[in-house]
Amino acid sequence: MNNLTTHGWNENQKLLRKLLKSKSTFDEAVKLCKIQHALVHPSSMGVTSDKTFFDLVLEDINENCYRQLQDTKTNRTILYDV
């Protein structure tokens, strides 16, 4: 099982599916699920010092984009959703 790194995401997802099939590995599955879940939040939350998917998606977006780009269905900005 990979720790908090985006590089092992697919492998960890496969492992998670396998672990969830058995009661005997449920606790391990919960632990892995928490690791995967942490990767969709900002690294500034203190869970990891590595970049998360959240960080990678937003790293090149400037403040103007955060405030002005809107979802066409909801008219909400990126900043609102974050």
Instruction: State pLDDT tens for residues 23-74.
Output: 999 999 999 999 899 888 888 887 777 888 888 888 888 888 877 888 888 8
Return d(Cα 7, Cα 18) in angstroms, integer.
19
Predicted model pTM = 0.68
Given a cut of 80, whether residue 13 has pLDDT beyond it is: yes
Per residue, the 3-state secondary structure of 3-56, as one string, reads CCCHHHHHHHHHHHHHHCCCHHHHHHHHHHHHHHHHCCCCHHHCCCCCCCHHHH
Query: How do the domains of the chain map onto residue ranges?
Result: 6-81
Average pLDDT, the chain: 85
